[in-house]
Amino acid sequence: MTGPVGDEPLGELEVVHTFTGPMPTGVSMSHTGRIFVNFPKWGDEVPATVVELRDGVEVPFPNQGWNSPSADDDAQAFVSVQSIVVDPADRLWVLDTGSPMFQPTKPGGPKLVRVDLDSDTVAQVITFPADVALPSTYLNDVRFDLRRGEAGIAYITDSSDSGPNGIIVVDLATGQSWRRLHEHPSTKAEPLETFRPVVEGRPFLERPADGDPKPVSMGCDGIAIAADGSRLYYCPLASRRWYSVATDALVDRMVSDDEVAATVRDEGDKGGGSDGLETDDAGRLYLTSYEHDAVLRRRTDGEYETLVHDPRLLWPDTMSVAADGHLYVTANQLHRQATYQRGQDLRRKPYVLFRTRIDAGPVLLR
């Protein structure tokens, strides 16, 4: 006689590393197999906001000095890093929010920093003017196309939960940057009337220890670039819909904001809220699904499939496709933080870096 049937996992998840300290968000692999991870400063004790995993040890990267800021506007150190991405030329870019505990930013804090992996030294620091990185800005994630301009273009999401959302475009040769889709509806969190997220069977809301719950308000968060570089995909954290925009329009500063907006495409309902997005060199798109402990994949024929579903995928956050044919993904229990649990921290360590085989490689636009 058998008992009641429960939920069944789908796909194969391999544990790469477990974290017993602060919660991670970003992960990225070099073309030679080096693994980098970051930890934003959201209340945990964070000895280093960027590390390399070496033989199972979290080593400050590129060194402890760069992980020891003197202030929140220190342009020569990492303040609070949300994302790290290895670019098509095998260089690590560090996206620093300059916003520990989601505090207002100051010039010098928000920045994009290039670390050359042949020497493990910082080679470029790009800061943002005050009309690009606003006091409310939260630099969330970044993608690259090195074929454009003299040294390439970076695209960054501003996921602010308290101010304007949009896409920030960066010319890597000059360091110049500009905002696109500023406050466009596709970049905004949806209200509870149209999006009521449920995670682990419970409504996902900001729930202070005292006071009324309120909806999660993070805007455009996940970002991914098409395999041919023609379109940039993005999604608000608080939405089940996702969108894309023509990269030609984003990059050309002679194109008006209205003309950029005219190239936005509603990619439809993706079945759940997503944090991270990713693409592979076979033209497929990957979406984390934090409401379903899953990673979904949209095939080139437009059909969706579940790559992996597992109860251990408690808030799949950031994904990264590696040259070894695997998709790597962090699971960090974000929804169990005290912010969403009436002041009680319900996270249970360890947090986990997983990987699953996809038999494809990263998009390398170079």
Question: What is the CATH architecture of 14-357?
Answer: 6 Propeller (2.120)
Q: What is the pLDDT of residues 167-184, one digit of tens each?
A: 999 999 999 999 999 999
Q: What is the pLDDT of residues 24-59, one digit of tens each?
A: 999 999 999 999 999 999 999 999 999 999 999 999
Quick one: three-class SS letters along 94-109? EEECCCHHHCCCCCCC
Q: How many residues does the chain have?
A: 366
Q: What is the CA radius of gyration of the chain?
A: 19
Can you tell me the distance from the alpha carbon of 116 to that of 132, in angstroms, rounded to the nearest whole number?
A: 26
Distances, alpha carbon 168 to alpha carbons 118, 129, 336, in Å: 28, 11, 30
pTM of the model: 0.98
Confidence tier at 354 by pLDDT (50, 70, 90): very high
Handedness of CA 68, 70, 71, 74 (dihedral sign): negative
% of the chain residues with pLDDT over 90: 99
Q: Is 336 strand, coil or helix?
A: helix
Confidence tier at 1 by pLDDT (50, 70, 90): low
Cβ-in-10-Å burial (0-12, 13-18, 19+) of 163 comes to middle
Handedness of CA 90, 125, 144, 190 (dihedral sign): positive
Distance from the first to the final alpha carbon of the chain: 60
